[in-house]
Structure 1
Amino acid sequence: MNSPIFTAAPRLTTERLILDAYTLNDFDAVAAMSADPQVMRYIGGGAGRDREESWGRLLRYIGHWQLLGYGYWAVREKHGGQFIGSLGFANYQRDITPALEAPEMGWLLCSAAQGKGYATEALRAVLAWGKTALPGGRTQCIISPHNQPSIKLAHKLGFRETHRAEYHQQTVLVMEQTF
């Protein structure tokens, strides 16, 4: 049986942002963001990632669109085109109990872009896209219970905590939003 082949991420625009498909040219920006310990402080033990891990991240971002028809967008400022982050939906096949049952939403913003309302603006556009494009009518996310800014953002976007789980020997909040 052949799997369907999908295309790249559709372009979404907001008042201040462009959400676009990743390209090879985005690798250095992804690597720089992923190496920043401030950006990664609540993810996977809190250390920055090396270029090898960032390369795998970029390939996953692009591959999700090709295989599943959803994935992550590169987030850029409309004025000047500066890369400021990554966000979207994924299926990471996480070893978490109970298993996630819907596309997982996630977000990362460069340190300089945090605290400006960009995440809220971009995630609202992505959720609007997801309401018509995602299977199952819902999305989930996992967040460290110490990551108060992301928890606050998730609540603002309509997510609610469903339970806590262990993931890589760390407790995470599992949150969900239905469309």
Structure 2
Amino acid sequence: MIQTARLILRPYNISDFDDYLNMVSDPMVAQFLGGQPMRAEDAWNRLLRYAGHWATFNFGMFAVVEQATNRFLGQTGIADFHRGLGSDFDGVGEAAWVFTSKSQGRGYAYEAGMAALKWYNSSEGRQRTVCLIAPDNRASLILAEKLGYIPFGNVVYRGGPFVTLERISTQG
């Protein structure tokens, strides 16, 4: 678990399912998660994948909750999604974030993302991370830049264009 000034980051648990499903089935959020609201079955499988990630790699996606209210805000973390994008991407920790539409624009994603990156860099001893963002996802690209990511390529993934970005931490 990680605590910041306003947030708690913790691995997902099964009791997060309803909050997670509400987030990923929101059309505003889903537009950059494959374009369609996620079905309950797919959300359930994704939540189980997150639990398995922690069990296998000892890192993964964090559920992000507000300290003051314990309200679910979204997720952030580092994972190995095994996307098949090549040696300059796969096998490197991939940063990811998704936040509820109601929590966007309040700095939560930056606060949580920076905390997760610092934790990953120090606990795993790895300095390079990557991320994959659709070029029309301006908010996510802006956040990635604030987190220190720079573009290093473009790929087609699942039929759509994406920008690949990397961040190399100087802290450990």
Which band: TM-score by shorter chain? over 0.9
1:10-31 Cα offsets, whole Å, 9 max, x none, are x101111111121111011111
Q: What does 1:76-95 correspond to in 2, within 5 Å? A: 76-95=65-84
| TM superposition outliers: structure 1 runs of 4+ over 6 Å | none
The answer to whether the 8 Å contact 2:120/2:126 transfers is no
SS of structure 2 residue aligned to 1:115: coil
Q: What do you get for the CA RMSD once the two structures are aligned?
A: 1.2
SS of structure 2 residue aligned to 1:67: helix
- Going from structure 1 to structure 2, the CA distance change for 1:99 and 1:49 (only over 3 Å counts) comes to farther
**Where does the alignment leave 5 or more consecutive residues of structure 1 unmatched?**
1-10
Out of 55, 58, 70, the residue aligned to residue 69 of structure 1 is: 58
SS of structure 1 residue aligned to 2:166: strand
Q: Who is 2:107 aligned against?
A: 117
Q: What does 1:153-164 correspond to in 2, within 5 Å? A: 153-164=143-154
- Following superposition, the deviation at residue 98 of structure 1 comes to 5.8
Mapped partners of 2:61, 2:49: distance in 1: 9
1:41-86 Cα offsets, whole Å, 9 max, x none, are 1222x11100001001101111111001110111001111001101
1:95-126 Cα offsets, whole Å, 9 max, x none, are 33566231111000000000000001111111
Letter in 2 for 1:83: F
TM-score (norm 2): 0.93
SS of structure 2 residue aligned to 1:38: helix
Identity rate, percent: 36
Mapped partners of 2:120, 2:140: distance in 1: 19
- Following superposition, the deviation at residue 133 of structure 1 comes to 2.1
Out of 134, 148, 168, the residue aligned to residue 178 of structure 1 is: 168
Q: What does 1:1-179 correspond to in 2, within 5 Å? A: 11-44=1-34, 46-97=35-86, 100-101=89-90, 102-134=92-124, 136-179=126-169
1:107-166 Cα offsets, whole Å, 9 max, x none, are 000000000000011111111101112354211000000000000010011000000001
- Going from structure 1 to structure 2, the CA distance change for 1:78 and 1:85 (only over 3 Å counts) comes to same
Matched pairs, number? 168
Mapped partners of 1:37, 1:52: distance in 2: 17
SS of structure 1 residue aligned to 2:130: strand
Mapped partners of 2:45, 2:89: distance in 1: 21
The answer to whether the 8 Å contact 1:71/1:88 transfers is yes
